[in-house]
Amino acid sequence: MEDVKEVYKLLVANRPYVGLNSRYTYFLLAQDFSDTCIVAEHDGKIIAFSSGYIPPSRTDTLFNWETVVHRDYRGCGLQKRMLLHQIKMANAKFFEGTVNPSNKVSQRNFCELAELLHTKCETKVLFKEEDFENDGHEAEVLYRIGPISQNELKQLT
């Protein structure tokens, strides 16, 4: 909970790279999903944040809500390392996350994550632009990775 203020500053500083939810959302994530939300620090400063949860109807799955890496630390694989750590923490057999069609970096990272884990990556449109009443929000494409071998995961983390 004590990290929420710094996480929120990180998110604000990295717009429009990342969507911004209300502070209330991040307090709830910190309170209710602290076992699947993580931060990365460098010299005592939060440089990355990744949130996720285990959907009640798919208890073998980690759903990634959002990941943001400070612009100065992008390009060094931090997003993938954080996601691997979250998958391991959740002991997940599957990983899911949504990506907007314009976010080529996250699309590539999710596909590379599946390659690292030697498993499938399937995609489908989860929410269409029309679902957002054409308010400028892009479609949300679901990436489902798995099944994930815990032995394979252990070798990577």
Predicted confidence at residue 1, as pLDDT, reads 53
pLDDT, tens digit only, all 157 positions of the chain: 578 888 888 888 876 667 778 888 888 888 888 899 999 999 999 999 999 999 999 999 999 999 999 989 988 999 999 999 999 999 999 999 999 999 898 899 999 999 999 999 999 999 999 998 878 889 999 999 999 998 878 887 6
Strand order in the sheet with 120-127: 38-42, 45-53, 61-69, 94-99, 140-146, 120-127
Looking at the structure of the chain, the number of domains it has is 1
Going by their DSSP bridges, the two strands 120-127 and 61-69 should be labelled as: unpaired
Predicted confidence at residue 17, as pLDDT, reads 65
Q: Note down the domain range covering 101.
A: 4-156
* CATH classification of the domain holding 139: 3.40.630.30
Predicted confidence at residue 128, as pLDDT, reads 94
CA distances from 6 to 9, 41, 42, 70, 136 (A): 5, 11, 13, 12, 28
The 3-state DSSP class for residue 69 equals strand
Token pair 């070798």: residue: 155
**How far does the chain reach from its first CA to its final CA, in angstroms?**
26
DSSP string, 75-127: TSSHHHHHHHHHHHHHT-SEEEEEE-TT-HHHHHHHHHHHHHTT-EEEEEEEE
C-alpha 153 chain-centroid distance:
17
Going by their DSSP bridges, the two strands 140-146 and 120-127 should be labelled as: antiparallel
